[in-house]
Structure 1
Amino acid sequence: MKKSLTGVIVAIVILSGYGAVAFSFTDQNNMEKKDIFLFSSVQLTEEQDYTNVYLPEATSYLTTPRSYVLPVVTRVYTFPFLTKITKITVRFSGEQETTIVKPLKVTPQALPDNLKEPLILSPQTASSTICPERSFSYHIAAGRDGDSLTTFVAIHLYPIQYLPSDNILRYSQNAHVRISYKTPEPRQTTTFDQYELVIIAPKAFSQVVEPLVTHKINHGLTTKLVTHEEICDSAYFPVQGRDCAEEMKYFIKNAFDQWETKYVLLVGGRNGGIKQEKWWVPVRYSQLNDGGEGSYLIDLYFADLYDSNGSFSSWDSDNNGIFAEWNSQRKDVLDMYPEVYVGRLPCTSVLQVRIMVEKIITYETSTNGSEWFKTFVGVAGDTYPASNDPYYEGEMATNASFQEIESLGFQASMLWTSNDRFINADSVIDEISKGCGFVHFSGHGSPLVWSNHPPMNESWVNGPNAFQMKKLTNGDKQPIVIVGGCHNSQFNTSLFNIIKGILDDGLSYFNSTRPYGKFWYYEWIPRCWAWAMASHKKGGAIAVIANTGLGYGEPGEQTLTQRGRHLEWLFFKAYKDGKVNLGETHAKDIIYYMHEHPPMQDQTDCKIVQQWALLGDPSLHIGGYPS
């Protein structure tokens, strides 16, 4: 029997009061935006036991667990901050259907980037339920777009739906979108002082940071150094918050509101502690439990200040004191779009601060116009090797990154396992030591190492580990490094963790057979992989963007539009789109990803964004200041 397909779905959004931000509406503010989508013909191909569906307009594919691989078309609309979306209507037309012989593929499970081989899922049991059940969805968020605070509305269209019980595809040729909204009256804001860059450091580091403040001011960036002690003492704004991390976030919010702050540089990492970690500058841990780990570091928490209602984005929507919580019982509702650009130098000593200050000043004053900067280095292999999978995911990701910036005059040097240029750690060290503007590693990792596989081979090819970073001899020719893999930026590592491990687990902490002891998680190394590269005095990187927790990817053909590989190359799209300050490029990267993959609809997508940490100066002028 032929099933009916609803052609029009109307969603009405009723937004609550805006809390901390004053606003008003009038009837004259009622407005409407219309859009029309024209979809190309659906392309079907058969592969072994499955049918593949292609749509040229697709921006990604469904990632919902145990759904089917169907195209998604996303369009993002921007409105002034605090715009009230009253109704979203999507009407599809030109509907057709066809029967296919072989079923569609089930959406692959996201794979942690520390697994040796992909998990194989059995096909979903045939059902009369249409997939996806809705023909469109959307999400609304608030964040910075250039110099403006913006309301984002991302609409996700599903022009092709699948009835698995009958092997029927239904698709539409057109979609008509209508958004009804009210814009708020212009807000009156009062700015007492203006500091585009705020540097937060402990008092013990403040004297060493001063040359960086002077350097930034000399290049036209209004800058203020604030010590963490001053925040706690209400030196600038009345202290608010339930713990040190929330106090610092409220301070950043006040700086954003009253100083028009755009960049926030946190200078400070671990400061000892055994059973309880101590920090020079506060951190926040996400309490999203994906089954692989229950918490991980999240500096994005400090960047997301407002939700789309204009309320403080606490990341604790149920107010139970557990932040960024997501498990089988509870889920905090988060906005996650940044209003400020946050980066961290997780320095543990005055010496490390001095090294990083000197590196940043040298980079910004000497890099511009240098030939070496126009080199892109890709390091990758076959991230999820399988005999029936011809796709080398890491190599695909690094190639996609280079394609984004090739038109800007960059030349590529690809160290891949498939071209025999990535054969060991020394091959990577030698190439980076020549000097380059960007490096993209895409593969597997831990706090200590980064690795990948040869084509269709489960053996490992290791890149440089954290202790080998001192072998890099690139001097002042330092790249910005993007890293796909697990835990490479887990900057809470410390030798104190060995003592903690012994106290918690006894000698089983050192177990070298299954079940492995936590010693082999390498959380005891003095500096994690990313920080070891960034803080290397005689070379290394000027900044590293990598995961603080388990990274995720999707094997196979759709790897570039899903999960971690997608997020990695979107950084280079942001740079190509003109984002020349590192923090804005990093933020635009995750905004692009969240536009396409709503973080509150999928736990894995949420985690992928939260843990994507910038270890570097967010105000860094990529390529240096013009002479």
Structure 2
Amino acid sequence: MEAKNMKKAISLAIVGMFLLGGIGTLEFKNAASATVSRNLDFMVPLLETERYGEKFLSINLKGVDTYLLENGRPVLPKMVKVVELPFGAKNIRVEVTPQGVKEMSISAPVRPAPAMLPLGLSDRVAINYLERDDAVYSQHEYYPNAWYSYRAGCGLNGAGEHVTLLIINFYPVRYSPADNKIEVARSADVQVKYDSPSRSPFPSYSAYDMVIIAPGKFSGELERLVEHKNSHGISTFLKTTEDIYSEYDGRDEAEKIKYFIKDAVEQWGIKYVMLVGGLKSQFWAKPKDNSNIGSRGWYLPVRYTNLWDNPAFPLDEETIHDPGVISDLYYADIYKEGGAFEDWDPNGDGIFAAWNKPGVENDTYLDLFPDVAVGRLACRSISEVQTVVDKIINYENGGCDPSWFKKMVVISGDGFLDQHDLNITWDTKSLPDGSYTIYAQSMNDEGEEGPVDVIHITLDRSQETDLHFNHDDHLNPALQNGYPAPPIAEIVSVSDGDVLG
């Protein structure tokens, strides 16, 4: 039998426990032998329990900050390991065997997980933040029903290499709500098996680093950007949407572009994709052709998901928050498990990325790991393209202070965990000048009290008012272990040492 037709069964034995307090990563390359094994010795950290309000108990493992969070169901510690397998690995099997399992009784129900809801929703609907899922809390069976779960997909590792990413979730604490008992594992043995790929679809040498995709009408300005990138050592070329539509097949324009990106990755080793083109007009352009795509009103198409966020829990009634959103992750997520093309339509019904949409089968097991870096300049005219290209060229030509030139600020959401602004004002008219201390503390409906925020100020009407906006909640000791956390009140309109004139 020729070597290229041989399949190697790889067995990875990981004996022991998951890395403490975070997400551990293991990497396994193709080996000359048919079987690879790796032994690890890790123990489950110390179990910690504490009261959560008047009714519930919080279950934690020392140093572990990841949790199983399902709306209204018990919050339990979760340990995560990311295993890197060769790109295109198939028939992946995982077996996790808990060791040293002990059963114990607890004094109160484990606290339920709150629902993640859009900001501002609480102003419009009634929310039961700690409503329990009665179907789970009345059962004698242990929750979750298995010690572990896993998923696999294709994506990029930290070095930008194409790999198969295997995410293993281990649940070292399980809970029987009706019996008020938990069972805790001391450690776990993990075995991973897979069929090794026979070849890699990627070139050993990258002919290009980046491709710019845009309509032909933007080509003139973008050729300047191509020349600039090439002069800075980033091998770049331009591909027009018109050429892509004539050269590639696909169910719609977005899928044709995605097939071209796949081709560019496999033929030329492309690492970066720049999409150029936004909505053609804020006034007359139609942003959505159908539930899947916006194309006719866009200079470069957008893929719409069919994710309907329409939860009955924890709301008193169903409320649609978003019937589908734009996602350029579609263009970056080229492959799924086994190295096959990821079209975001696994059931083939022509409805992309569907979830909870009435009358439509859910698209389960989407990959969602990016295989190439994708960004978009959502330009609406040639003049906007010219402006953006000028700014990129001027910036990258180094007309800036080199001490900050390669630094960046990343702004991200925080999972809707902020509390509402109480908008409290102080009337100081009747107070004499002098030093004052302001205290703030929050309490939730369960009676749990948070830390006290303390600010020292001076009231001196002979001076000018000197105020500094204070937003250092990330330094609060109560948040050092992340969420969930006690209720937190923060004084933000004045800072320590401020003067009220």
Output the amino acid matched with 2:275: L
Residue equivalent to 2:166: 153
Output the amino acid matched with 1:288: L
Q: Among 278, 288, 300, which residue is 2:307 paired with?
A: 288
Q: CA distance change for structure 1 residues 82 and 207 in 2, over 3 Å: closer, same or farther?
A: same
Residue equivalent to 1:352: 384
What is the CA–CA distance in structure 1 between the aligned matches of 2:336 and 2:450, rounded to whole Å?
39
In the TM superposition, what are the counterparts of 1:583-598 in structure 2 within 5 Å?
none
Q: CA distance change for structure 1 residues 218 and 63 in 2, over 3 Å: closer, same or farther?
A: same
Residue equivalent to 1:142: 154
Task: Give the fraction of aligned pairs with identical amino acids, expressed as a percent.
Answer: 32
Residue equivalent to 1:64: 70
Q: Among 206, 227, 243, which residue is 1:214 paired with?
A: 227
CA shift, 1:122, in A, is 2.1
CA shift, 1:368, in A, is 6.2
CA shift, 1:269, in A, is 0.4
Matched, 1:332 2:332: no
Matched, 1:383 2:429: no
In the TM superposition, what are the counterparts of 1:213-612 in structure 2 within 5 Å?
213-234=226-247, 239-272=248-281, 273-274=285-286, 276=289, 278-291=297-310, 292-327=321-356, 329-333=360-364, 334-366=366-398, 367=400, 369-371=402-404, 383-385=418-420, 387-388=443-444, 421=469, 560=483
Output the amino acid matched with 2:132: P
Matched, 1:37 2:70: no
Q: Is the 8 A contact 1:44 1:52 kept in 2?
A: yes
Q: CA distance change for structure 1 residues 299 and 280 in 2, over 3 Å: closer, same or farther?
A: same
Q: CA distance change for structure 1 residues 340 and 391 in 2, over 3 Å: closer, same or farther?
A: farther
Residue equivalent to 1:111: 117
Matched, 1:46 2:58: no
Q: When the two structures are aligned, how many residues end up with a matched partner?
A: 384
Q: Secondary structure, in 3 states, of the residue corresponding to 2:213?
A: strand
Q: Is the 8 A contact 1:39 1:57 kept in 2?
A: no
What is the CA–CA distance in structure 2 between the aligned matches of 1:36 and 1:192, rounded to whole Å?
39
TM-score normalised according to structure 2 size? 0.69
Q: Is the 8 A contact 1:71 1:160 kept in 2?
A: yes
CA shift, 1:75, in A, is 0.6
In the TM superposition, what whole-angstrom CA distance separates every residue of 1:119-160 from its partner, at most 9, and x where no partner exists? 423234332121111111111111122342101111111001
Q: CA distance change for structure 1 residues 33 and 84 in 2, over 3 Å: closer, same or farther?
A: farther
CA shift, 1:164, in A, is 1.0
What is the CA–CA distance in structure 2 between the aligned matches of 1:316 and 1:375, rounded to whole Å?
36
Q: Is the 8 A contact 2:209 2:235 kept in 1?
A: yes
Q: CA distance change for structure 1 residues 315 and 121 in 2, over 3 Å: closer, same or farther?
A: same
Matched, 1:123 2:132: yes
What is the CA–CA distance in structure 2 between the aligned matches of 1:137 and 1:420, rounded to whole Å?
48
What is the CA–CA distance in structure 2 between the aligned matches of 1:190 and 1:37, rounded to whole Å?
39
Residue equivalent to 1:571: none
Q: Secondary structure, in 3 states, of the residue corresponding to 1:112?
A: coil
Taking only aligned residues, the RMSD between alpha carbons, in angstroms, comes to 3.4
What is the CA–CA distance in structure 1 between the aligned matches of 2:334 and 2:410, rounded to whole Å?
35
What is the CA–CA distance in structure 2 between the aligned matches of 1:441 and 1:195, rounded to whole Å?
44
CA shift, 1:39, in A, is 0.9
In the TM superposition, what whole-angstrom CA distance separates every residue of 1:71-100 from its partner, at most 9, and x where no partner exists? 100011101112235532212122223222
In the TM superposition, what whole-angstrom CA distance separates every residue of 1:424-454 from its partner, at most 9, and x where no partner exists? xxxxxxxxxxxxxxxx999xxxxxxxxxxxx
Output the amino acid matched with 1:259: W
Q: Secondary structure, in 3 states, of the residue corresponding to 1:29?
A: coil
Output the amino acid matched with 1:331: N
CA shift, 1:361, in A, is 2.1
Q: Among 99, 103, 117, which residue is 2:105 paired with?
A: 99
Q: Secondary structure, in 3 states, of the residue corresponding to 1:78?
A: strand
Q: Secondary structure, in 3 states, of the residue corresponding to 1:318?
A: coil
Q: CA distance change for structure 1 residues 193 and 32 in 2, over 3 Å: closer, same or farther?
A: closer
Q: Secondary structure, in 3 states, of the residue corresponding to 2:115?
A: coil
When you count helix as a share of all residues, which structure comes out higher?
A: 1
Q: Is the 8 A contact 1:285 1:296 kept in 2?
A: yes
Q: CA distance change for structure 1 residues 24 and 347 in 2, over 3 Å: closer, same or farther?
A: farther
What is the CA–CA distance in structure 1 between the aligned matches of 2:175 and 2:207, rounded to whole Å?
54
CA shift, 1:189, in A, is 5.5
What is the CA–CA distance in structure 2 between the aligned matches of 1:284 and 1:376, rounded to whole Å?
28
Output the amino acid matched with 1:297: I
Residue equivalent to 1:533: none
CA shift, 1:310, in A, is 1.8
CA shift, 1:422, in A, is 6.4
Residue equivalent to 2:218: 205
Q: Secondary structure, in 3 states, of the residue corresponding to 1:133?
A: coil
CA shift, 1:30, in A, is 4.1
Q: Is the 8 A contact 1:208 1:350 kept in 2?
A: yes
Output the amino acid matched with 1:279: W
CA shift, 1:35, in A, is 3.8
Q: Secondary structure, in 3 states, of the residue corresponding to 2:111?
A: coil
What is the CA–CA distance in structure 2 between the aligned matches of 1:30 and 1:70, rounded to whole Å?
35
